[in-house]
Amino acid sequence: MGSMSTVQSVERAFAVLRALTTGPAGVSDVAERTDLPKSTVARLLATLVEVGAVAQSDATGRYSLGEALLELSAAASPGRNLVAVARPHLAELMEEIGEATGLGVLDGLEVYYLDQVDSDHEVQVRDWTGESVDAHVVSSGLVLMAMASEEIRAEFLAVDHVRWTDHSVVDRPSIARRLDEVRRAGFAWVYEEMSEGLNSVAAPVVNPAGRVIAAVHAHGPSYRFPAAGDAAATAAAVVATARRISDRLADRHPVAGAGEVAAGDATAGSAPSQTRE
């Protein structure tokens, strides 16, 4: 009888964990997703929090997959290490700003989106996970190009860029100035340059050797994102999230003195302008 009870508890715990793979949730949400009693879900979540498999947000009380579980996943699949480290921080950022968040890396002259955590808004943005976009029309692309080597930057500035919308900045002198500004500020805003009605902001993730390897971004419909007067605070939240991911990577792979120069580049500067170039 005891053995059967133990097996059932393990099965239920896995059901709870699977329910959280779709994003942060409260006890009622998890109970609905798993078809388990709320009391059972609450007890399981409390235990999973204790062992680090689940984390609870101090701000919202909602639950998400914890770093201990993600570390096991990363160990089993080393190529997914960055996503595993970043996802709980992306979920926290989504909770903080209320918009979709994601992670992208440079792929030639494009940005490849590794992951996205969606918000609970009825009107949501498209999930770009697994897709690539021209770097010059997205905030992640501007951040990654601004922090890239001189060789990559020169190649980026030498090509003719496609205008995705009427707001896309495509002339080379303007793009070069933008990259300089992004490098100084440590983040980038883009307003409706990839798609009409979509704005985004991004900041760099630094590896233990001090090299920018990815960008954290947040994006949402232009009519609500950013809210009036919130651009600077939102950018600061994205920068802080990128730094936490960078710090977590450094803890995982410590290198003495690493990251100081690149981390300095990621310091949020003055509030970004709401005007389009």
What topology does CATH give the domain 2-65?
A: Arc Repressor Mutant, subunit A (1.10.10)
Angstrom distances, CA of residue 71 to CA of 5, 80, 199, 242, 250: 28, 10, 32, 18, 14
pLDDT tens digits, residue range 241-274? 999 999 888 764 433 333 333 333 333 333 333 3
Give the start-to-end residue ranges of the domains of the chain: 2-65, 77-265
Among 125, 45, 105, smallest CA distance to 242 is for: 105
CA distance linking residue 87 with residue 71, whole number of Å: 11
Q: Is the pTM of this model over 0.75?
A: no
What's the burial of 261, exposed, middle or buried (CB within 10 Å: 0-12/13-18/19+)? exposed
Q: Is 32 helix (H, G, I), strand (E, B) or coil?
A: helix
CA-closest candidate to residue 200, choices 175, 226, 227:
226
Q: Beta strand pairing status for 198-206 and 212-221?
A: antiparallel
CA distance linking residue 128 with residue 116, whole number of Å: 7
Bridge-based pairing of strands 188-191 and 132-134 is unpaired
Complete DSSP assignment for 120-143 = S-SS-PPP-TT-EEEGGGSHHHHH
Residue 65 confidence class, pLDDT cut points 50, 70, 90: confident
What is the tens place of the pLDDT at every residue in 167-195? 999 999 999 999 999 999 999 999 999 99
Pairing, β 188-191 against β 54-56: unpaired
Superfamily name with CATH number, domain 77-265: GAF domain (3.30.450.40)
pLDDT score, position 30: 92
pLDDT of residue 20: 84
Residues 125/133, Cβ–Cβ less than 8 Å: no
Check whether 75 has a pLDDT greater than 60. Answer: no
pLDDT at 68: 72
Residue 261 CA to chain centroid, in angstroms? 22
Residue type, 253: H
Spell out a b/e string for 119-137, using b for 16 or more CB atoms within 10 Å of the CB, else e: beeeeebeebbeeebbbbb
Structure tokens at 119: 């918000």
pLDDT for 222 beyond 90: yes
pLDDT of residue 61: 85
Pairwise CA distance, residues 144 & 64, whole Å: 28
